[in-house]
Amino acid sequence: MRGMNGIGSKAAEGESRLHALMVASLGGDAGAYHALLDALSGHLRAFFRRRLAALPDELEDLVQETLLAVHNQRHTYEPEQPLTAWVHGIARYKLIDLYRRRATREALTDVLDEEMEVFASQDHEAMDAKRDVGRLLEQLPDRHRLPIQYVKLDGLSVAEAAQKSGMSESAVKVGVHRGLKALAALIKGEP
């Protein structure tokens, strides 16, 4: 039973700090959003590592896939809901999805209830992702790939990206948005 209270209070602390970041990011605060995703990637890595003992190679891929899902589903978060429950719901869904794809039966029961644990620990030692999201990006059609490449990776402004790609500014914005969804779908479709 050692450390149970420790886990509880650390998790509660994480909840209130990350909840504030989430609420700010939903209001359009990119700095808060960056801090949130950073913290979440550490929490998710620690959360998944304990549950992927049999599939260690999958860890970083799953962290990335879950971060992308967090991003694509952020409109399903309501501020009155505990962020812990929302993130745990997504993480658990992605983990079970992976188990199903791999047809392993690794301690499914272990995943089910320990909601509080998601924010209890962090792990910032990223291993190399086996799946290269950058390579997947190349499979997207130009109307999705170019906006993401120019705006997200090269750091151009939307106006510059529009000029460079010959697309309208709104098409660039839509392209980034849709492209990230398409990327998530590609990841899901990968065996």
Count of all residues that appear for the chain in the document: 191
* Helix boundaries (H) for the chain: 4-26, 30-51, 59-72, 83-102, 108-112, 133-137, 142-147, 158-165, 169-189
In angstroms, what is the minimal distance from the CB of 175 to another protein? 12
Q: Which is nearer to another protein, 25 or 165 (by Cβ)? A: 25
- Could you tell me if 91 and 66 are in contact, meaning their C-beta atoms sit under 8 angstroms apart? yes
- Return d(Cα 150, Cα 167) in angstroms, integer: 12
Say whether residue 158 binds another protein (CB under 8 A). Answer: no
Strand, coil or helix: what is 103?
A: coil
SS3 call for 184: helix
| Total residues binding another protein (CB under 8 A) | 56
Q: Select from 14, 43, 64, 98 the one that contacts another protein (CB under 8 A).
A: 64
Considering the complex, state which of residue 7 and residue 23 has its C-beta at the smaller distance from another protein: 23
Give the tokens for residue 20: 């504030």
Restricting to residues 97-116, name those near another protein by CB under 8 A: 97, 115
Is residue 129 close enough to count as binding another protein by CB under 8 A? yes
Residues forming contacts to another protein in the complex (CB under 8 A) are 25-30, 32-34, 37-38, 41, 60, 63-64, 67-69, 71-79, 81-82, 84-90, 92-93, 97, 115, 126, 128-129, 132-134, 137, 148, 151-153, 176-177, 180, 184, 188
